[in-house]
Amino acid sequence: KATQAGALDALQQNTWVHLACHGKQDHEQPYNSYFAMRAKPLTLLDIMENNSPQAEFAFLSACHTPVGDEETPDEAIHLAAGLQFSGFKSVIGTLWAVNDVLAKHVVEAFYENMFGDLEDGVMDCMKAAWTLDNAADAVK
């Protein structure tokens, strides 16, 4: 199981990250929303203070990562938005509880589609939405 320190280091060192863990939203104090880690949670505030200059793409295989407040849904600071605020150009999150088996198939199809036809060896995070749509269709 990942640690907070290891995750923060990975966020600084990598252009692409994939978090497959439990996520918890705190609607009252959004910066306290977190990803569950071994000893200490990885909070949204930790991520935003971490300075991830390489940040391009984050795949959040965690429950409810882009869910906001019902009263102000367009103004919420949720886990997915927090990663975008911290510099990630493209973020994929889940709107509801994630079935582990189904998520595994979607993630496999996503990465197969994303990396299967790299012509110049360069990953393009701007293809994420299109690739996720194709992956979801493939799993249906």
Classify strands 16-20 and 57-61 as parallel, antiparallel or unpaired.
parallel
If you search the block for the tokens 């984050």, which residue do you land on? 58
Rounded to the nearest 10 degrees, how much is the dihedral formed by the CA atoms of 122, 125, 130, 131?
60
Per residue of the chain (140 residues), what is the pLDDT tens digit?
799 999 999 999 999 999 988 889 888 898 999 999 999 999 999 999 998 888 999 999 877 666 656 666 566 788 888 899 899 999 998 877 778 888 899 999 999 988 887 767 778 888 899 899 999 998 88
Q: What is the pLDDT of residue 17?
A: 94
From the centroid of its chain, how far is CA 89?
Answer: 11
Q: What is the pLDDT of residue 43?
A: 96
22: helix, coil or strand?
coil
